[in-house]
Structure 1
Amino acid sequence: MAARRNVLLIVVDQWRADFMPVLGADFLRLPNLDRLCAEGVTFRNHVTTAVPCGPARASLLTGLYLMNHRAVQNTVPLDSRHMNLAKALRRVGYDPALIGYTTTTPDPRATGERDPRFAMLGDLMEGFRSVGAFEPDMDGYFGWLAQKGYALPDKRENIWLPEGEDSEPGATAKPCRIPKELSDSAYFTERALTYLKGKGEKPWFLHLGYWRPHPPFVACAPYNTTYRPEDMPALKRAPTPAEEGSQHPMLDFYLRSIDQGSFFKGATGAGASMDEAEIRQMRATYCGLMQEIDDCLGEVFAYLDETKQWDDTMIVFTSDHGEQLGDHHLLGKLGYFDESFRIPLVVKNPDAAARAGTIESALTESVDVMPTILDWLGGEAPRNSDGRSLLPVVEGNTPADWREFLHYEYDFRDVHYSQPERELGLHMDESSLTVVQDDNYKYVHFAALPPLFFDLNADPDQFRNLADEPEYAALVRDYAQKALSHRLKHAERTLTHFRSTPRGLEQR
């Protein structure tokens, strides 16, 4: 057992699971992540239970499904009554530090409508001590740049335009205008080392967040040319966006509404119009951004080695969600495809060295991370947690009653940057879907749109919807019942174990 208990929770942004070398992405060279996988347990079948950033991070840090925490979109508040990892860590004697962001909109009942946090995409979750914030509006990072002597342009975000005044925004091998020594990843790494060096011998918990490989998809030199477009994996998509969109009305809406400007500063044009060469270049840049994070993690790992804290520290590496990267003609994180929901999870537990290097196939979800960390630190997950501690799985003792399928959700109600409700003829409370998925089948249930059903053995990339095929009717029924039963079992239960009796209050 580790002499003292430190936890480093590394949360990257928009990193999909199949871009992990240990899981088959042999086109990537990430030695520090490889080291972590070699000394920890890598989970092959791990999903976020919600997308995009705000809902995903709410589930990760509260241990609750979207159906229970209800911070259903980036702009929707998180109820202040919910326990979260930071609050729970304080109960076991830790002062939880956070670098990065959580994209959390505050509960309006706990503040006022003029609170400036309601004019941004999201702020920091209650309970964390910020030691290197990116939010609000990236002011911390831009202030750091100015303090370093970098002359910011009038429009600060132009640092992520391609180098050269005549550069055309879009998929490019050109570097961005900021040098790597001043990148956002360098900023987070410096903040992490500053925090760690200040802790001395005291136990610590650090949420180390990185913005990358989140867009804009432009990398600092030399990461802009670290990978070649021709080495990128092949696209998974129908011959045309129109053919792709015929699968479902919601998919058709996003294929028509996503533009390149959200992924490349200053770019125009539809995301679905990108040709294969552009997408391969985008993927090469995406990998370059991963390479930069790996180099940054190397600096943090080296400090833990130097100070002999590596063996005292649980390290958890994960992402908030994935990225479509042109698969199914989509960009971003949305809908129901695996590319958006399957994410990395690596857990290095100093108490389970015998399992080092294992690739674990148990089905795991982002809601499991909070209970796992609390379990290792001697705490207890809240009664209403939808996740379970992974420590038995990490140690090779997966419980007999472990989950048999994965569950995740997506809420697509209107937000200020996307308005699907009118086009789809839905009320905001009808704009949602839930998924149950195992090794064989995937069922997607919509609140007010037709369902989807896929045979994953015959159609692993999910092009053929079988929900209306007569020969699959019994299976569709069975998986719909699984989805309903799962929802009933995980309905909010903070107080449902209490009973008033003639003898007074009892707990079950």
Structure 2
Amino acid sequence: MRRISIPICLFILCSCFKSVTAQETSEKPNILYILVDQWRAQATGYSGNQDVITPNLDQLASESINLQNAVSGTPVCTPHRASLMTGQYPLTNGVFMNDVLLDTNAITLPKVFKKDGYDTGYIGKWHLDGHGRNTYIPPTRQQGFAYWKVLECTHNYNNSAYYTGKSDEKKFWNGYDAAAQTEDVLNYLDEQSKSKKPFLLMLSIGSPHAPYDTAPEEFKKLYKNKEIFIHKNVPEELREKVENDTRGYYAHMTAIDSYIGQIRQKLKDLNMDKNTIIVFTSDHGDLLGSHGFYKKQQPYQESIKVPFLIHYPKAFGKKGSISPALLNSPDIMPTLLGLSNIDIPETVEGLDFSSVLKGEKKDKVKQTLISCPQPFGQWARKRGGKEYRGVFTGRYTYTRDLEGPWLLFDNVADPFQMNNLIGKVEHKKLQKTLNKKLNKELQKRNDEFLPGMEYVKKWNYLVDETETVPYRNVNYEGKPINEL
């Protein structure tokens, strides 16, 4: 037998090690994006909430970057999702209201990843099609996703419907849809573990959006008769209702938390965790009685601030950290592309925070734009809705409506935003500074801050008497929406 010298052995071993390392370094990351509906940032254990039970998210946060100042810049479903898909602000992509179609020619997140060799998949709520909430969405309107089990929108979370990619046959999730959708994610991951291609998979869960009382009984029991802390900005006459609704809201959250635990365990079992970017976030928050309102659209903390965890052990390690970065909805697409070493299309307006998150660059972003171009639906004008533009700096929230300065809060000194500083002499300089920052953001976006109906006319949206795009299968004149 021929003997090989020790130096030669070491050379061979080192060469092999270098080869494997280079291969691992060049390997594209998988992306698993978990998007929930109407989960406000204040409602997680890791954020300090002592009532909601979220052990799996708390564990994820301990191993992730927690972007504690992430906001939904136009805090309502369809505009956020369109900004997520395009990296553009609502007045650029034209999606500033619910239940309108995102341009099928748009350059979108899945199209870019698909072009770079990724398998793409989407499971759950879509809300970007504008052809009615229960209709089949054909491949030409699926924006580049290949694997597809989707319904436009429903808030019936038990045995809810969905359609697959090329079939208009209506199918139904078995039981609580978030649980069934999670099972589908687990099956998808099993299949992807056999593939050499990276994947982008988005799981879009409809809860914890209202109705608040429809989570599985096993999770509702956890909150039965439990005393719940209610935000100080909830009026006294609403507190009993809000406490009951919050119990149901949290039950949905704990259910989702358990499913996230299942998904993480599957990734570990398949040895896919290290090279998979996991994002957990929401499309917007929920006022849930704060300032006397429910739902979203408004510029208060409970509406605009969203949880945003990003877990990527290969790039960030497994020790959790908190980032103050002002991540806005249009910034998500370029940041994911940056982390995946994919060129960012010129159509993208959002900022790439990937180098900031990796510690390679200093974060120089001092403010980010928040807006409501056109109030509608649950915050229509008859309910006090109005257009606004504003800036969020982390510490401060400043907004103007069409009449002038509207709200100014110190979010550190006044976390429940109960002391409006507008017009107060001692804060005159601060108000002037923030107003300049807002003007700078509007100039960057070419935003003239016109009345909302001007934008409705520009984009030829059909609205009803409340200035809302109808979401049922007929409009207010009784004509089928699909024919319009």
Q: TM-score range by the shorter chain?
A: 0.7 to 0.9
Q: Which amino acid aligns with 1:345?
A: F
Q: Which amino acid aligns with 2:211?
A: P
| Structure 2 match to 1:403 | 365
Match of 1:201 among 195, 202, 205: 195
| Structure 1 match to 2:34 | 10
Distance in 2 between the 1:131 and 1:139 partners? 20
Match of 1:300 among 237, 243, 263: 263
- CA shift, 1:354, in A, is 3.7
SS in 2 for 1:226: helix
- CA shift, 1:89, in A, is 1.2
Q: How many residues align?
A: 409
TM-score scaled by structure 2?
A: 0.76
| Structure 2 match to 1:369 | 332
| Structure 2 match to 1:333 | 296
Distance in 1 between the 2:132 and 2:240 partners? 40
Match of 1:131 among 148, 161, 186: 148
- CA shift, 1:292, in A, is 0.7
Indicate conservation of the 8 Å contact 2:235/2:291, yes or no.
no
| Structure 2 match to 1:31 | 55
Match of 1:445 among 385, 391, 400: 400
- CA shift, 1:143, in A, is 7.0
- CA shift, 1:436, in A, is 0.6
Give 1:212-223 correspondences, 5 Å limit.
Answer: 212-218=207-213, 219-223=215-219
Q: 1:289 to 1:99 in 2, by over 3 A?
A: same
| Structure 1 match to 2:69 | 45
Gaps of 5+ in 2: 1-23, 163-171, 448-484
- CA shift, 1:338, in A, is 0.7
Distance in 1 between the 2:403 and 2:109 partners? 34
- CA shift, 1:197, in A, is 2.3
- CA shift, 1:227, in A, is 2.4
Give 1:313-332 correspondences, 5 Å limit.
Answer: 313-332=276-295
| Structure 2 match to 1:467 | 422
Indicate conservation of the 8 Å contact 1:45/1:364, yes or no.
yes
Indicate conservation of the 8 Å contact 2:371/2:387, yes or no.
yes
Distance in 2 between the 1:30 and 1:138 partners? 22
- CA shift, 1:210, in A, is 1.1
Q: Which amino acid aligns with 1:392?
A: S
SS in 2 for 1:396: coil
Stretch deviating more after TM superposition (45-54 or 72-81): 72-81
Gaps of 5+ in 1: 107-116, 146-158, 160-177, 241-272, 493-508
Q: Which amino acid aligns with 1:408?
A: I
1:225-275 deviations in whole A, cap 9, x for unaligned?
Answer: 2125544223222656xxxxxxxxxxxxxxxxxxxxxxxxxxxxxxxx53x
- CA shift, 1:121, in A, is 9.7
- CA shift, 1:141, in A, is 7.5
1:258-311 deviations in whole A, cap 9, x for unaligned?
Answer: xxxxxxxxxxxxxxx53x233222112211111111111222222211111111
Indicate conservation of the 8 Å contact 2:30/2:276, yes or no.
yes
SS in 2 for 1:235: coil
1:39-91 deviations in whole A, cap 9, x for unaligned?
Answer: 22111111111121101111122112223222111023333443221121122
SS in 1 for 2:51: coil
- CA shift, 1:140, in A, is 11
Q: Which amino acid aligns with 1:281?
A: N
| Structure 1 match to 2:167 | none
Q: 1:132 to 1:485 in 2, by over 3 A?
A: same
Stretch deviating more after TM superposition (227-236 or 333-342): 227-236
Give 1:254-403 correspondences, 5 Å limit.
Answer: 274=238, 276-354=239-317, 356-400=319-363, 402-403=364-365
TM-score scaled by structure 1?
A: 0.73
SS in 2 for 1:93: coil
1:103-144 deviations in whole A, cap 9, x for unaligned?
Answer: 1135xxxxxxxxxx1576996652223532133668998477
SS in 2 for 1:293: helix
Question: What's the Cα RMSD here?
Answer: 3.1
Match of 2:390 among 411, 414, 435: 435
Stretch deviating more after TM superposition (128-137 or 209-218): 128-137
Distance in 2 between the 1:14 and 1:69 partners? 22
- CA shift, 1:412, in A, is 3.6
| Percent identical residues | 28
Indicate conservation of the 8 Å contact 1:54/1:122, yes or no.
no
Stretch deviating more after TM superposition (30-39 or 93-102): 30-39
SS in 2 for 1:407: strand
| Structure 1 match to 2:445 | 490
SS in 2 for 1:403: coil
Indicate conservation of the 8 Å contact 1:49/1:59, yes or no.
no
Q: 1:437 to 1:229 in 2, by over 3 A?
A: farther
Match of 1:76 among 93, 100, 110: 100
| Structure 1 match to 2:232 | 236
Stretch deviating more after TM superposition (25-34 or 55-64): 25-34
Q: Which amino acid aligns with 2:322?
A: I
Distance in 1 between the 2:235 and 2:55 partners? 36
| Structure 2 match to 1:262 | none
Distance in 1 between the 2:234 and 2:285 partners? 20
Indicate conservation of the 8 Å contact 2:235/2:292, yes or no.
no
| Structure 2 match to 1:90 | 114
Q: 1:317 to 1:139 in 2, by over 3 A?
A: closer
- CA shift, 1:224, in A, is 0.7
Q: 1:137 to 1:320 in 2, by over 3 A?
A: closer
Q: 1:57 to 1:37 in 2, by over 3 A?
A: same
Distance in 2 between the 1:137 and 1:328 partners? 27
| Structure 1 match to 2:185 | 192
Distance in 1 between the 2:154 and 2:45 partners? 33
Distance in 1 between the 2:339 and 2:405 partners? 43
Distance in 1 between the 2:252 and 2:156 partners? 21
Indicate conservation of the 8 Å contact 1:60/1:320, yes or no.
no
